[in-house]
Amino acid sequence: MTDNEVINNEYTATANLGRVDIPEEAKPYVIELLKLRKEVEQYRQIGTVDECRAAREKQIPKEPIDDKYRHKCCPICGWLVCYDEGWGDKYVPHCENCGQALKWGD
């Protein structure tokens, strides 16, 4: 079933329930609005604009900050992002708490 068929079926079902009485000349516009509504529903499943913007911001690497003990911490949430593993420090590419990408020097 094509998108147009799905939309036409939805339109017909809605019209048959008697909830709408749409003049013939307005039907193409109603079908267009139903298509737009379907698109909006698909975008809402991805996330709101603010959620998408916040996710994109977290992908831009930021330098860690030092806490009062000079531990390297996430600049967003303060989570410890560098661990001493005995043979050297382990630098994580992303904060394990909030997902912020991290920028480390060479």
Can you give the binding site for Zn ion, defined by CB under 5 A?
74, 76-77, 79, 95, 97-98, 100
Least spacing, CB of residue 57 vs Zn ion, in Å: 12
Shortest Å, Cβ 74 to Zn ion: 3
CA–CA dist 61, 93 (Å, integer): 9
- To the nearest whole angstrom, how small is the minimum distance from the Cβ of residue 100 to Zn ion? 5
Identity of the residue, 14 or 75, whose beta carbon is nearer to Zn ion in the bound complex: 75
Paired with 94 in beta bridges are 101
What is the rounded distance in angstroms from the CA atom of residue 52 to the CA atom of residue 46?
8
The residue among 7 and 73 lying less far from Zn ion, judged by its C-beta, is 73
